Amino acid sequence: MKTFFRNVISGLALLLLAACSPPTAKFNNTDLTGLDYTAEFRLKDHQGKDRTLADFRGKLVVMFFGYTQCPDVCPTTMAEMSAVMQKLGAQSDQVQVLFVTLDPQRDTQALLNAYVPAFDSRFLGLYGDAGEIDKLAKGLKVFYQKVPGKTPDSYTLDHTAGSYVFDQQGRIRLFLRHAQGPEPIVQDLQTLLSQK
């Protein structure tokens, strides 16, 4: 009988603890919390400075993979993130947007320097050699492949259209769907910012 009461009391204690624990955050986008995606990198930004994910500790990081000659997905995503930053207002200072080129052959530092800040002066374009880019892309399960054009330099790239969000400690948290409008992204980033 004592064992029965002990089990009942233990069960009630567990229920009370569960009721007192904070609720799990609800996101509009795909929650990647706890996945073992790897985002270790050392790339150069569009000003030539070496960068790692650790450089942005204390901020949310939104990372998008694309290329400057992309006809649709990339400029749409960058414009959407610019709108997100405007809607965040003062909170935008706690967010860093990174554009990682999947086309290091054509996306030079000078080209990234002209392209990326045109959407928002705080955005950073990152580049490296093909091996460095491929390692980072594979670590985050980013799909991309070259699609030949009429000339050797007129190729395009098929690639993952969404963006990844890392929290203030550098942990992967969200996958943002492409072309959903800024509001759901703003809500999700504000949720993460409130979790400090």
Per residue in 13-56, pLDDT tens?
444 444 444 456 799 999 999 998 988 899 999 999 999 999 99
Cα–Cα distances in angstroms (integers) from residue 118 to residues 17, 24, 26, 68, 165, in the given order = 50, 37, 33, 12, 21
List, as one string, the DSSP characters of 172-194: EEEEEPTTS-HHHHHHHHHHHHT
- Are 67 and 154 in contact by the 8 Å Cβ rule? The answer is no
DSSP-derived 3-state class of residue 100: strand
| 73 pLDDT more than 80 | yes
Q: Is the pLDDT of residue 5 over 60?
A: no
Structure confidence at residue 53 (pLDDT): 96
Q: What is the pLDDT of residue 24?
A: 67
Q: What's 25's DSSP letter?
A: P
Quick check: 11 pLDDT over 90?
no
Helix-helix angle 73-88:182-193, to 10 degrees:
50
Locus of tokens 């320097």: 113
Specify the pLDDT at position 38: 85
> Sign (positive/negative) of CA torsion 135, 153, 78, 120?
positive
DSSP codes joined into one string, 119-186 = T-TT-EEEE--HHHHHHHHHHTT--EEEE--SSTT--EEEE---EEEE-TTS-EEEEEPTTS-HHHHH
Instruction: Give the confidence band of 153 by pLDDT, cuts at 50, 70, 90.
Output: confident
pLDDT digits (tens, 9 = 90+) for 81-138: 999 999 999 999 999 999 999 999 999 999 999 999 999 999 999 999 999 999 999 9
Using pLDDT thresholds of 50, 70 and 90, give the confidence band for residue 168. very high
Residue 2 or residue 34, greater confidence: 34
For the entire predicted model, the pTM comes to 0.86
pLDDT confidence of residue 39: 85
pLDDT-derived band of residue 196, with 50, 70 and 90 as boundaries? low
Pair 39, 166: CB distance under 8 Å: yes
d(CA 166, CA 56): 10
Q: How many residues appear in the chain?
A: 196
Neighbours of 36 (CB within 10 A): 6
